[in-house]
Amino acid sequence: MEHMPSALPDGEPVPADGALPASALAGATGRPLGFYLHVPYCATRCGYCDFNTYTATELRGSGGVLASRDNYAETLVDEIRLARKVLGDDPREVRTVFVGGGTPTLLAAGDLVRMLAAIREEFGLAPDAEVTTEANPESVDPAYLAALRAGGFNRISFGMQSARQHVLKVLDRTHTPAAPRPASPRPARPASAMSTST
């Protein structure tokens, strides 16, 4: 059996200005434009998860906090501005935005809305753009969802891997099978409510 190398292979260094190679930009304006924003924070580590995620204790080094939820949104806003510079005068509006993780809703709703606002300001959003965030059932409440909706989010993907308590325990999930119901906008759903998926 072949083993994966323990270090990344040699390659070209990343340009300081973030520039993409011409081959990556060739024909780009003929393709849809979407954003994936990664928020790596989790309240607990689930045993099955291989995503790039961190709990609060994993982000503390001997010199203090290595990364903070307090300034993460501003870091992503800076990355969105860099993407605008890299893509230059690309005229495409953004058709999809997906905020994943981790548990993005461990950040304040205002932080997620600010990140979406940066995309809207730098690129524009298509009128029918799908704007989604992942959430765990226990990380949102109706007021949080209302703030997301008011800020432009129109879809939420709940991290509910099972409705069976024994399966949730095996997966190290912290919610109960009933947890999504109170926070979900499904009951008496007005036309302006977000769509949901689990």
- Report percent pLDDT > 90 for the chain: 39
pTM for the full model?
0.77
pLDDT of residue 187: 37
More confident residue, 172 or 111: 111
pLDDT tens digits for range 25-64? 888 888 999 999 999 888 777 666 677 777 766 666 556 6
Residue 92 to residues 119, 182, 197, Cα–Cα distance (Å) = 12, 38, 27
Highest-confidence range of 11-25, 108-122, 181-195, by mean pLDDT?
108-122
Topology of domain 31-179 in CATH is Rossmann fold (3.40.50)
Any idea where the domains of the chain sit in the sequence?
A: 31-179
177 compared with 116, residue with greater pLDDT? 116
- Give the pLDDT confidence of 133-185 residue by residue, as tens digits: 999 888 899 999 999 999 999 999 887 665 666 666 665 555 555 655 444 44
CA dist., res. 92 & res. 14, Å (int): 25
Q: Work out the mean pLDDT of the chain and round it to a whole number.
A: 79
- Specify the pLDDT at position 74: 92
- Label residue 124 left, alpha or beta by phi (over 0 means left) and psi (-120 to 50 means alpha): left
Is the pLDDT at 99 greater than 70, yes or no?
A: yes
